[in-house]
Every structure is written in structure tokens, then in C-alpha cells.
Structure 1
Amino acid sequence: MNRNGLLLCLISSLALAACHASEGPATSTTKSAPEKTAVEPAKPANREADDAARFLAGMPGREGSAYKALESQKAWIDHARQMDEAWAGFEKRRKAGMTKFQQAELVGAPVDGSPIWYPFSGGDALTMLVFFPGHTTYSMAALEPPGRIPTAAQFEKLDLGKELPQIASTLSSLLGKSFFVTREMDRQLRGQVTDGVAEPMLILLARLGYQINGYQYVQLDENGKLVPRGVDTQRAAFGRNRGLSLDIERAGEKPATLVYISLNLDDAHMKDNPAFKTYVAGLGKSCTLLKSTSYMMHSDGFKLIRQMVLDDSALIIQDDSGVPWKYFTPEHWQVQLYGDYVSPFGADFQFRTQKDLRAAYEAQRKDVKPMAFRMGYGAGKIESNLQVARRK
């Protein structure tokens, strides 16, 4: 065969091989490529939430954002400057210390790869994501309604000079004091400023560097499974087990799902809500965050959620407002103490003083680790405290 004939034969063979390759695997035993950690977030399947998040956070929109025209208004420019200042203050006063704590204390087993659960969270995605970056499943639960994802068309009809400062105010306590003030949430997140936790959470996600690839309004069915739901445009989705699911991603991390569910966690409501218990158990053994809970689980009216936390957690990180110290029995839990504890801050919670927790801090003084940041009630006024309990 001459040279031209050989060339034609080779080309035909390559074309035939390409044709077979395009048909897919020949048998079911063909192995798929291993999952890779994302370097840069993928293009959002639905960009509405991401565009809204950046606009509300005072961050320039990505190319093609529906909010681009609004960014030229003086009100948004002022808002962006104020948000920059508020975030810079948080990063300087608290975030650096929280990140160092996470890197030193919240790594290895059982943290790596675990689902993250945050009951009594309000809209505080901030603490959860700083303490537990890089996970793929985040679940939050609190009384406040989930709210709705806003649109650029809605803001075009509003006075941004009045609207944006009010939205920014929903985060002032969290960024400054480390927690949402209950009476402020009652006033701000139930229709007076926003219709739920969605808008504050969007701001926090954008400022933390997350891209929001999509969202869905969800609820739990009777079997504890998340299913899609419609949006009640009149009442902003008040009701048990209604929620919001966000697909989030940050450079260098795998895509994750963050779910917020609205419900009352007291015993009177929990005893008739087996779907939520099934949902939490279905997460698997979680790392659970408890902070500034108004000492709910110290009350006999919250025994069921307290037991769920103890049953379904591989690790619990909390301040003294979480699970009372007496429930961390030595045969089941190994607990590391941080900071210092004397009694709750202020007169309202003095009756929740735990003498046994104070005694533990005294007895373990040489092993108690310092905290390089303040959080919880009285942050900046009294010494903060944390306990990290690992299941044995």
C-alpha cells in the first residue's frame, strides 16, 4: 500500500473510533470519572438569587445583572460604602479570630465531611459558614419565616434611599454583637423590613464569597423529605416546615446546599411534627451549632429539641445558652472548654446560671483554651465562652 493509501486508512480508523466514543459506554461496567473539587464556581443555573445577593450586599453585580442600572443611584453607592465599612469592622474585630479558631479546633474527625445543623439559627448563616467552611450540607431551623428572593423589578419601584438602610440594619446586631436580637428580628423580619430571613442571608453569603447557583422554595412532606412548594405572596410563607433551599458555591470548594426551615421548636409544636424529627435524623450524625438561643433548651418546654441535639450530633459547639452542662455525661461526651464562664450576661438570664458549668471551668482551668474573639450575649462586655463536645 502506498503512502496515500496508508494515510486514508489511518483517517478512517480514527473517524470510526470517534464515532464509537460518541455513542457512550459499551457496557454498564464502564467507570465514570471521579468527582473533582471545583476550583471556580460554575455558571449559575438560575442567577436571580446571586444577583440579588450582590446588590443587597453592596457589591457590584456580575456581567448581565438585572440590577446594574440601579447601581448608579446615589442611594446604592452610599449603601455599598456603608456595607463595606460594616463588613471591614466584622473582619477586623471577629472574623480573623473565628477563622483561626476553626482552623485549630474544628478540623479532623468528626468534622470533616459531616452535615452541619444549626437550630435556633435565625438568619445567621455567617457563624455557621465561618466555623464550618467547605461542607456540602447545611441545615438551619428557626421561628422566623424564610422570606422570598427579591427581584430587580421590585427595587425599581422603591425609594432605595429608604429601603436599603433598613435592609442593612437587619445585620447590624449580628455583625457588631455576634447575634440577632430577638426583638429586632420580630420587628424587622416579619414584613416591616423584609418578609423573612432570605435577604439578610443573601447578603451574608455574598460577603463571604459565595455564589448562589440556584434556589427553591421548599417544605417538608409527611415523610420528612424536602419537596418544592409554591410561594404565598400574601403572607411570605408563614407556617410549619416551610423553607428555602439555596445552592451555594465558593472558589476552591465543592458545591453545597443550604436549607433554612421555619418552625417552632418548643415541645408543644415538636410533639406533633414527626416530619422534622425524621428530616434531622436523615441528615446523619451532624456537627451542631448552638449560639444565643435565649436559653431555650434550659427550659422543660424544649426537652424534645434538646434530646434531638444530643441524639443526632457527633459534635456540638455552643455557648452556655445551648444544652445545659449536666447533659454532657463523661461516658458519652468529651468536652473542651474555651474562654471563661461565670454566669449569663444581664439580669434577664441570671436565673439560668449553671453552677456545675462554672465548677467545670474552675476544675479544668489549666486545660481551658483562650478565645481570640467575642461572641454570644455580653460579647465585648464580659468574657465569652464556648464548649466543643465530641461524642465518644
Structure 2
Amino acid sequence: MKFLSLISTGLIFISLGKANNNIDIDDVNLASKLIAGISVDVENSISSKEDWKKHQGAMSKAWERYKKSNLLPMLEWSGEYVSEDQEKHKDIRYPFSGPDILHALHMFPDAENFILCGLEPVGQAPKSEILRSENSAQALAEIRTILEESLRFSFFKTLDMRAELTDAVYKGTLPIMCLFLSGSGYEIKNIERLELNKDGTIINLGSKNINSDAVRIQAKDQNGKIINILYFKTNIANGLIKKSGFLQYLENIPKGLSYVKAASYLMHKNYFSEIRNHLLYHSKVIIQDDSGIPLRHFDQDQWQMSLFGNYKKPIDLFKEHYQEDLRQSYEFRSTKLSFGTGYKWRKGQSNLMLAQRMKSGQPSTVIAANKKPEPKKEKSDLEENEVFKSLDFRLKLVAKSIIDKKTTNENKSAFIMNKYLVVSINNGGSKSFLGKTINVVRVGLLNGKLMREKQIGSIFSVKLSPLNEYPSLLNWTIKNDLPPTPKEEIIYIPSQS
């Protein structure tokens, strides 16, 4: 009996030992709120301390300022430009992210699965006991230092963050991600340690207080929606991304949305071509700043590019990654951006690109219609003041309009107004057009479907006719985002392309 009792006691001890090694989710939520600067009524022993009161004051101001200047405008921008894509695709790839779940949550509020990665260690789940210890003041000061960059500049400095997260009292990316979730109104429901196999499969190690290079956080928003955040400590340079199994893991995830911000211009380099090619092939939408995939890698026949903000040149640290084609595209056409992001984090200096993959087999944007005899002639601003019934040009797209939600809701079909530079004249036409810009309408919406459009800077040949030669089309809505011209110009339409 004594032997059996010892065995039973041993079993009970082992079981209790395992239970004690489990992550305490209630305590994680408590600690996450407190380090985020959120008061918790039941925890007076911590919230009454002077070091925490100081922390709360600083964090409250930082949260309030950053939500107003960045997070809420980002949420509004996403609702206007990306909401439809989020309804279809629930998986977000966010390479080079580090622990930055904060901006991903506000850029993709309808997403369900976020895949983050970086070189920073996972670390341990936050515990409230640290805030009761003599290390409390140091721990809170470290949190403020680490978060100052993200809540002010919108990004982490990779080398600084790696050292800070390794040496901090709250070690690793896990406490920062938990803090961001609590600060964004989420309740953490579970944390699971993961192991990534070389074939891209994942082993669930359970909710343990152990070390691992991957972790899954499950959280619930205020409306009850569950999201999953997966973070992998991994190097995604060529070769290493395959060796670790991370590329195989990404390839098993459904095609969806990708986000790239403050990525050190690594995908401008050949030795990060594998992750670059993966994103180009496995993304339906890519939202990025200029530190992401260079513009030249986007096939203009596959991607529709929309530019927001301003682009002049990178910061001095990355000046060798200047993109002349991107600068020219921004010079011709961009939409105002209401928040700062990336390395040029000040509002008015930031840039953001929205790349949307066009559907294969989309119908041509060219309208086929019967011409009417003796069209009414209008005056042109060209030197010879004449309108040609049939023009055969080689054009360069310099500015274009974009179909928005309002246009889609109010119209079944609609034109977009684009501006083109006449690069050359085909078939010996009049030279008066050479070097001039002309306005051309193309079909942007047809029977409720968005049509494909070429990229800014693309050059192609096309035959044009004045729009007024097609009376049946004159009642179509024309979505025109172009700057107003000093006097009326002739509007043309492709007669074939």
C-alpha cells in the first residue's frame, strides 16, 4: 500500500508539475493590460504603486495620440480601399514584421489569421508577478522604451529591438504582442507553443511555459470574433527560408493579403528573391511602402497599382534603393494618405502602395460600338486645332482614375478618365499630337465587374476616336480623378487595341 501510495503521490506530483508549467491565461490578460497602461480594478497592489501610475500616464498619452494620428485613420483607409478584399481572404502574410501585430490589426480588421515573422525571439508570456517584484520599475521603463518607436514612428528598429527584447525583464516578442492585443481591446484566449518542421507542418507543443521559436496566440475582439496570430522566429533569406520549412508552410496557406512595412529594403536584394516571389505569386493584394517589393517586379498585366501619399527618395540609410520609376509614377498620380507609416513616418511624407491582382480572363476594357456618320466636331487645344476621327498612337499612361465604392454602388457600368502622353505617331499621322497629353476614357466598370487597367508608366499602341462619335455612350458615368484643366479638352475612346 505504501508503494502504491508513493506511486499515486508521484503521479499527482507529476500532474501538478505539468499544470503549474501551463500558461495562466487569466494572468496573461492581467499582465498585458497593466503593461499596456490599462487600469484593472481588482489589482490594487500593482496599480497603486507609483512606478505603475507613472507608466499609466505615459502610456495613456501615447495610446491616445497614436490612435488619433495613425490607427483610426488607418482603419478608415482600410475600410475604403481594402474591405472587399478582406471579406474574401482571411489570411494575412506579414514578413519582416517582428511583433508588430498592432498595425496589422488596424490595416486588416476583418482578417482572421495573421502570420508574422522576424529574427527576434519569442520569449515568455507576460506575468503579473514581475510587476509586484523589485524589478517592476525597470520592466515598465523597458516597455516604454521599446514601444516608443512603434507608437511614435510606426515601426521597430530591428537591431535595437532584438537586443532590447533579449535583455529585457519581459523578454521576447510575446509580451509585446500581448500588450498590443490588450491595448487594441482584445482578450487573449489561448497561447500555444509551436514547432515548425522542415516540411512546413507544425507540431503543437501545448500551452506551456517553455521556450520555442514559434507561437500561436488566439484572441477575441469585443464583438466575439476569434483571431489567430502566429509568430515565427526565423531567417527568411534565400535558402534559409526553405531549410527551416517556413516557405513550405507559407505555400500551404490559402492565397490572401500581404503587408510589408519598414522591411529594410531586403526584397530589393537578390538574396531575398524567394520570399519576394512567394508574395507575388501567393498574394491577391499586397499593401506595402517603398521598402517592400520594388515596383519593377510587378507585372503590369497582372497587377493594378494604386499609389497613396508621397515618394521622393528613401531615408539616407537606404538611399541606394531609390526607385526612379516609382518617383515618376507618384509624380503623375497619387492619392492623399491620411496617416504616417514606414521609415518616413511623418504624415505627408509617407508612401503606401495598394497592389491588387487582376482576375485572369477579365474582358477587355475596349468598347465596341457602331460609329455614327458626320460626328460633331469640337475644338482641340492642340496646335492645329483639329480633331482627327481616327488616331493611331503609341501612348504612355501618366495618370489614371480609380473606380471607388460610390461609383460601384451607383452604376452598373462606368468609364474611368485617364491621361496619356503621346510617345509616337503610327502610320504617319499628324505630328501635332507628339509630346502632348490627351484624355482617354476606358471602361473601369462593366456589368458590376471592375476591369483591368495598365500600370502607370506603361507604354502601348492603340487606335482612338473622339468619344462624341458614340452617342449611345455619352450618358455613361465618367469617374474622373484627374486635376481640372484650364479649358475643355477633347475626350477620346479606344476604337481598338
Q: What is the TM-score normalised by the length of structure 2?
A: 0.64
Contact 2:238 2:273 in 1 (8 A): yes
- The one-character-per-residue Cα deviations of 1:72-93 (angstroms, maximum 9, x if unpaired) are 2121122111110110110222
Contact 1:339 1:383 in 2 (8 A): yes
Query: C-alpha separation between the residues in 2 aligned to 1:137 and 1:171?
Result: 24
Shift of 1:382: 6.4
Asked if residue 378 in structure 1 is aligned to residue 363 in structure 2, the reply is no
- The one-character-per-residue Cα deviations of 1:131-170 (angstroms, maximum 9, x if unpaired) are 0013221111111111110222344333322221111211
Shift of 1:110: 5.6
Query: C-alpha separation between the residues in 1 aligned to 2:72 and 2:233?
Result: 31
Look up the match of 1:246. 217
Q: How does 1:182-197 map to 2 (within 5 A)?
A: 182-197=158-173
Contact 1:119 1:290 in 2 (8 A): yes
**Aligned with 2:230: secondary structure?**
strand
Look up the match of 1:208. 184
Contact 2:71 2:103 in 1 (8 A): no
Shift of 1:69: 2.5
Contact 1:134 1:254 in 2 (8 A): no
Query: C-alpha separation between the residues in 2 aligned to 1:224 and 1:215?
Result: 20
Look up the match of 2:320. 351
Query: C-alpha separation between the residues in 2 aligned to 1:160 and 1:178?
Result: 26
**Aligned with 1:97: secondary structure?**
helix
- AA aligned opposite 2:198: E
Shift of 1:195: 2.2
Shift of 1:112: 3.9
Q: How does 1:329-340 map to 2 (within 5 A)?
A: 329-340=299-310
Query: C-alpha separation between the residues in 1 aligned to 2:44 and 2:199?
Result: 43
Look up the match of 2:153. 177
Look up the match of 2:256. 286
Query: C-alpha separation between the residues in 1 aligned to 2:235 and 2:197?
Result: 16
Query: C-alpha separation between the residues in 1 aligned to 2:351 and 2:87?
Result: 20
- AA aligned opposite 1:195: K
Look up the match of 2:73. 97
Q: Which of these residues, 228, 234, 247, is aligned with residue 257 of structure 1?
A: 228
Q: What is the TM-score normalised by the length of structure 1?
A: 0.80
User: Residues 382 and 339 of structure 1: is their aligned pair in 2 closer, same or farther, counting only changes over 3 Å?
Assistant: closer
Contact 2:124 2:209 in 1 (8 A): no
Contact 2:122 2:215 in 1 (8 A): yes
**Aligned with 1:202: secondary structure?**
helix
Q: Which of these residues, 51, 55, 59, is aligned with residue 75 of structure 1?
A: 51
Query: C-alpha separation between the residues in 2 aligned to 1:157 and 1:286?
Result: 44
Shift of 1:187: 2.4
Moved more, 193-202 or 324-333: 193-202
Asked if residue 60 in structure 1 is aligned to residue 39 in structure 2, the reply is yes
Contact 2:32 2:126 in 1 (8 A): no
Asked if residue 266 in structure 1 is aligned to residue 237 in structure 2, the reply is yes
Query: C-alpha separation between the residues in 1 aligned to 2:251 and 2:99?
Result: 22
- The one-character-per-residue Cα deviations of 1:347-386 (angstroms, maximum 9, x if unpaired) are 22111001111122234x2xx2110111111222861111
Moved more, 188-197 or 92-101: 188-197
Query: C-alpha separation between the residues in 2 aligned to 1:73 and 1:228?
Result: 38
Shift of 1:122: 0.9
Query: C-alpha separation between the residues in 1 aligned to 2:274 and 2:87?
Result: 24
User: Residues 46 and 325 of structure 1: is their aligned pair in 2 closer, same or farther, counting only changes over 3 Å?
Assistant: same
Structure 1 runs not aligned, ≥5 long: 1-43
Asked if residue 320 in structure 1 is aligned to residue 290 in structure 2, the reply is yes
Greater CA radius of gyration, 1 or 2?
A: 2
Look up the match of 2:25. 46
**Aligned-residue identity in percent:** 29
Query: C-alpha separation between the residues in 2 aligned to 1:254 and 1:384?
Result: 32
**Aligned with 2:85: secondary structure?**
coil
Query: C-alpha separation between the residues in 1 aligned to 2:223 and 2:88?
Result: 16
Query: C-alpha separation between the residues in 2 aligned to 1:270 and 1:282?
Result: 14
Shift of 1:253: 4.7
Query: C-alpha separation between the residues in 2 aligned to 1:52 and 1:159?
Result: 14
Moved more, 293-302 or 48-57: 48-57
Query: C-alpha separation between the residues in 2 aligned to 1:158 and 1:113?
Result: 47
> As a proportion of its length, which structure holds more strand?
2
Query: C-alpha separation between the residues in 1 aligned to 2:272 and 2:327?
Result: 23
Query: C-alpha separation between the residues in 1 aligned to 2:139 and 2:113?
Result: 32
User: Residues 332 and 45 of structure 1: is their aligned pair in 2 closer, same or farther, counting only changes over 3 Å?
Assistant: farther
- AA aligned opposite 1:354: Q
Query: C-alpha separation between the residues in 1 aligned to 2:239 and 2:308?
Result: 34
Query: C-alpha separation between the residues in 1 aligned to 2:129 and 2:69?
Result: 36
- AA aligned opposite 1:348: L
Contact 2:86 2:110 in 1 (8 A): no
Shift of 1:219: 1.8
Query: C-alpha separation between the residues in 2 aligned to 1:53 and 1:119?
Result: 24
Aligned length: 335
Contact 1:374 1:383 in 2 (8 A): yes
Structure 2 runs not aligned, ≥5 long: 1-22, 359-497
